[in-house]
Amino acid sequence: MATIVIQIGNSDDKLTQYKWAQFVEFVNDNIKALGWVVHFSGGSSADKFWQNYCWVCESDRCEARTFEQIHLQLSQAVKEFKQDSIALTIGNTEFIK
């Protein structure tokens, strides 16, 4: 099983509220399309001067092709929403007993 963490932000205010909502929706839709289990998704508090959002997901399909696909989709989002980057972390989950 792999744990996938995706983090996006709009701290530089490049995106209007409308475009920010589209950006979050775009990433969320791509995560859903891969069939990953989302254990957490959420963003910064509404009273903060920045916007960010994070998804923590799980996948039992750890094929390189799947990770290449999300990488390409996130790269597309970077370009489409004029971002500097999106943070993607993929790692193995270990349960400590």
Tell me the pLDDT tens digit for each residue of 31-44. 999 999 999 999 99
Among 85, 68, 5, which Cα is nearest to 38's?
Answer: 5
We report the CATH number of the domain holding residue 66 as: 3.30.70.260
Whether the model clears a pTM of 0.85, i.e. scores above it, the answer is: yes
How many domains is the chain partitioned into structurally? 1
For residue 11, tell me if it sits in a domain.
yes
Q: Are 1 and 93 in contact (CB under 8 A)?
A: yes
Q: Please report whether residue 97 resides in a domain.
A: no
Domain limits for position 76: 2-92
Query: Tens digit of pLDDT for each residue in 62-89?
Result: 777 888 999 999 999 999 999 999 999 9
